[in-house]
Every structure is written in structure tokens, then in C-alpha cells.
Structure 1
Amino acid sequence: MCGIVGLFLKTPDLEPRLGALLAGMLGTMSDRGPDSAGFAVYGDRIEGLKLTLRGPDRTVLAEAVAGLGRALGLDLDATLRDTHAVVVLPAPREAEGRDWIADRAPGIDVVGAGRRMEIYKEVGRPAAVAERFALPEMRGSHGIGHTRMATESAVTTGGAHPFSTGPDECLVHNGSLSNHNDLRRRLRREGLAFATENDSEVAAGYLTWRMREGASLRQALEASLSDLDGFFTFVVGTRDGFAVLRDPIACKPAVMAETDAYVAFGSEYRALAGLPGIGGARVFEPEPATVYAWERT
């Protein structure tokens, strides 16, 4: 049992409040997943590339960022938040930066990359995780979050969601996939790399692969209905979009709300109850095997 939340703003008016609203939603889902939590926020688009790094503490992260800057010959812009850092690189230097981190910065992991996306996740109760990373202070156009109850694996930061396997793409998942090991092997042959044994990371990789092959997000999600075995509810973020999909049985709870200002998702209605204008929202349960998607350009 896990908790999922998501908030997609249709207009810029609420962007300064995105983090505060998402933090409230995430905290409400604590009893569905008290072990660990994470979230992704899509902020202002930059010309370079944001790498979100995770390390044991701020000191080690700061040393790694300094070493990376020296290796690349760059004065790097970096924001440190507890055990994570967001480093801005020129996009053409991404591969070089990743290679240096893998070879020269033991204990530092890249958890996401993109022009807009930042990902944060840690072990602990969701409200505490949101506070550690100052989620209420963040602004943006959309964000997704996850609270985890680790029923099939250890409680680790690496096992926390969201999972990202492509630029500005990430996924949170409630459920369990039965064919993820076979699919992981297939995707590795297609050039994808995985950092964990978590089935949700495979789902994220599957969508990345489909979109690399030319599918839209909607098409990739529709294809997953036949290619993924198991039960699942996915909430997906991309650079400009937000999507929701439940498996054909739809055994995991889900509720959505839509107003002129936003679209929101929660595993339970109480995650949405504190949103502005919720009393006048169209509240509905997403249908099984149906893709719901929104995009801002």
C-alpha cells in the first residue's frame, strides 16, 4: 500500500503555491506510506540542464559539486537541500558530468535530469521529508509525489519514488508488476540503465523507451496496458505534461479533481480536500485502462 499525489496547474496563477499545496497533499497520505517519500517539481525552464544528485550529507555533496566543477572547468550553479543537490550544467556536458560522478564521486547518485524537473526523496515520514527539502517554498507548474510502504523490499532511499529514466520524465506507482525482471532485461538490451531492482523503475524505463521510439506519452501509456503485467496506478510527469493511468482491473484507489485552475490526483479524496476551490471541482474516479493527460506549452 502506497500513496500517490499529483497536481497540474492549468494557469500560472497558483505557481507560487505549488510546493505548499503539494506538501499538504503528500503529508495527508502519510498513513498509506510512512516509510519513505519523494516528489518531483517542475519549475522554470532553464537553458542548461539540471542534474539532481543525492548523497549522504551536504558536506559530501558540496565536495562532489566542487570537484565536478573543477573537472569540467566550470563555475557550477548548485542548490543544496539536505541530502540532495541540483547542479546546472551545459546540456552538451551531461554525459561527461555523469561519467565523472560515477567514476570519481562514490556515494553520489544522479536521481534525475532535465531542463525543469527536480527530484527529492528520502527515508522518513512524508511530512518530514517535505520539510527537509523545503517543498512548501518551491514553485512550478506541476508536481507529483509518493509515500511508500515497503511491503516487498527494504526501506531505502533508492527504493523511494519518483523514478526517472529520461530527461524531465518521472513516474510514481502504486501496485506491483509481475513481469518487471524480464522487461528490465529487454530494456537493458535497448540501452537503458537501472539503479535498483524496483519494479516501478522498470515502468519508468518502459515509458522512456517507448517515447524514445517516437511514441507520445499517451501512446506509451496505452501500450503499457498490454506490455505490463500486474496491477498499477501510474502518475507521470514530463516537461510540459501530467498523466494518470490505472490498470484494467483498477484495484488501487484513485480520485481526481478538476477546476479551471488545476487538475489534482490523490489515492484518497482527503489528499485533495485542502486544495483551493475544491468545493466547486469536478471530482471523479478515473476509469480503468484509460489515459488521462494534460499539457501546458
Structure 2
Amino acid sequence: MTDRGPDSAGFAIYGHGDSDHLKLTLRGQRLDGVARELDVEGVVRDSHLVLTFTGEEEERVRSWLAAERSDLVVTGAGERIELYKEVGLPAEVVARFGLAGMRGTHGIGHTRMATESAVTTDGAHPFSTGTDQCLVHNGSLSNHRSLRRMLEPQGIHFATDNDSEVAAGYLSWKLREGATLAQALEASLDDLDGFFTFVVGTESGFAVVRDPISCKPAVMAETDQYVAFGSEYRALVGLPGIETARVFEPEPARVYAWERH
């Protein structure tokens, strides 16, 4: 991923968690005293802070943050997800956050080349607009403004102007309305206009879908031990057992989904 350049990078890790607690990943400055002020567990990783607290404390924690630390940006929330992103080379970003020392069942990573907007951390992927959900996007959406106008009255909130965040919000809305992840991604093929490859993470696994034209490159590798996705095969060559993996290109307009065991 680092070969793509020093724009920005991010990753979501689905690690340890339980149904009685919520994790909230925050990005900003002056993080050391936040957990103490809230009287909750907190771990600082570079420019991010992960708070862990019981579900019944969520309203109190979010209200305090809105009133006392509105400068902090919530990057992810859920039982298991931790979401980190910053400007810089991917190799440097993952070193800053100590990715090599993290553990989990699955993760979603992305490096961005900003062709239509400024290089900022706000524009870095993944985007998360729902509990334990995140999305990375390769492509461009032409109708994201009209989708945003439709989603905001439905209670879907956006922190940036990025079209990828709108795609994440669309899926959050579909899931909230009762659709499965596969159904939500199938609906996106009709409702989202543009060209795209989506990789979506949830608490239980991840999914991939490409638009019907599929002009953006994509490759997958599957073994008995793991499933991996990359824009290029060279991103997968260092994986263990890649020599005997089933390597394939995802078909256009087909949803692929895997669940953790």
C-alpha cells in the first residue's frame, strides 16, 4: 500500500470485545486526560484514543464529549471495532499506531490518492457511520450529494464531504431499515451512480462488491485460514500460503461475503 504514495492511510481492526461494553475511537489532540475526566477505561495510540465503557454509559460519554471536547472526532464505535487514520505513508501510519502488535479476527485497510480533494485526515478511509461497520471505497460516486440530502433527514450524520462517507451512510441506513449486509450492497448497485469497489467490515465479517462495469482493479485470495482482498495482486504476495490460495477477480455486480468463526 505504501507504494501508492504519502497521501493518507487508515485501518479498522476488529479485536476483542463483548456485548456489555462499547468502544469509541476518537481522533484529536490533548487526549491524555479525557478517559480520567469521564471515569472510563482509555488507551491512547498516537493521535487517537480508544474509550471503553458499558453500554448504559454511552449517552453520558457522548454528551460530555459534545459539551467539553467537541474538537475530538469520533472515527468508529462498536463492540469490537477500533479505527485509526492519519496523513502519511501507510507504512509510517501503521507504525505510529502499533498495528503489528494488535490482534483481531479481521481488519480493513486503505491508502488514498486524493484526485478530487485535499490531502487531509478527514478524507482518509475507512469511514464508519454505523456500529461496528466501516467502508473503504475505490472509485467515484456522481450522485452522492443527492444521497446525502436524502439520508440526513433519516438521522444519518456526516463529518466530511467525502463521497465514500455517503456510501457508508447509505449502507448504515439500509441496515437500520432491516436489510442484511448482502441486501444493502445489492441495493447499492441500483441506488449509487458511479464506479466503485466497496470493501465493508462488520462485527461478524466483511463483504466486497464491484459496480456492474468494474473498471477499478480488484483481486482476492482465499484459503482455509483466511480471505484477503487487494486492488493489486502484489499486495497479497507476502501472505502465508498464497502459492496455494484460490486467487480470483471478483465478478461485476456480485456480492461476496464472509463470516468469522
TM-score by length of 2: 0.97
Q: Does 1:133 align with 2:106?
A: no
How far apart in 2 are the matches of 1:111 and 1:96?
18
Q: Is the 8 A contact 2:78 2:131 kept in 1?
A: yes
Q: Among residues 211, 216, 219, which one is paired with 1:252 in the alignment?
A: 216
Kindly provide the CA deviation profile for residues 152-177 of structure 1, in whole angstroms up to 9, marking residues without a partner as x.
11111111010001110000001110
> In 2, distance between residues paired with 1:231 and 1:205?
17
Report how far residue 94 of structure 1 moved. Answer: 1.6
Q: Please list, as runs of the form range in 1=range in 2, the aligned pairs for 1:7-18 lying within 5 A after superposition.
A: none
Partner of 2:11: 39
Q: Are 1:55 and 2:25 counterparts?
A: no
**Whose relative contact order is higher, 1 or 2, with alpha carbons under 8 Å and at least 6 apart?**
1
Structure 1 letter corresponding to 2:34:
A
Residue 129 of structure 2 is aligned with which of 143, 156, 165? 165
Q: Which amino acid aligns with 2:211?
A: D
Pairwise CA RMSD: 1.0
CA drift of 1:65 comes to 2.5
The Cα shift of 1:44 comes to: 1.4
SS in 1 for 2:57: helix
Match of 1:179? 143
Q: 1:66 aligned to 24, 36, 45, which one?
A: 36
**Structure 1 residues 214, 33: CA separation in 2 closer, same or farther (over 3 Å shift)?**
farther
2-structure distance, mates of 1:89, 1:243: 28
Residue 199 of structure 2 is aligned to residue 229 of structure 1? no
2:83 equivalent in structure 1: 119
Q: What's the offset of the Cα at 1:270?
A: 0.7
The offset of 1:34, in angstroms, is: 2.6
Deviation at 1:222, TM superposition (A): 0.2
Alpha-carbon distance between aligned partners in 1 of 2:78 and 2:87, rounded to the nearest angstrom: 24
Of 232, 240, 245 in structure 2, the residue corresponding to residue 268 of structure 1 is 232
Question: Secondary structure, in 3 states, of the residue corresponding to 2:120?
Answer: coil
Q: Deviations over 1:109-158 (max 9, x none)?
A: 11110000000000000000000000011111000101011111111111
With structure 1 as the length reference, what TM-score do the two structures score? 0.86
* Matches of 1:183 and 1:95, distance apart in 2: 28
The answer to whether residue 169 in structure 2 is matched with residue 199 in structure 1 is: no
Choose 258-267 or 90-99, whichever is displaced more: 90-99
Range 45-54 or range 98-107, more displaced = 98-107
Which residue is 1:281 aligned to?
A: 245
1:189 correspondence with 2:153: yes
Gaps of 5+ in 1: 1-28
Look up the equivalent residue of 2:141 and give its one-letter code. L
Alpha-carbon distance between aligned partners in 2 of 1:103 and 1:238, rounded to the nearest angstrom: 30
| Alpha-carbon distance between aligned partners in 2 of 1:94 and 1:111, rounded to the nearest angstrom | 15
Q: Contact 2:132–2:202 (CA<8 Å) still a contact in 1?
A: yes
The structure that is helix-richer by fraction is: 1
Preserved contact between residue 198 and residue 210 of structure 2 (Cα < 8 Å): yes
Distance 2:70 2:169 in 1: 24
Shift of residue 62, structure 1, vs aligned partner? 1.4
* SS class of match (1:61): coil
Post-superposition CA distance 1:70-103 (Å, at most 9, x none): xxxx3x1111100001100111222331222122
**How many residues of Structure 1 are paired with residues of Structure 2 in the alignment?**
260
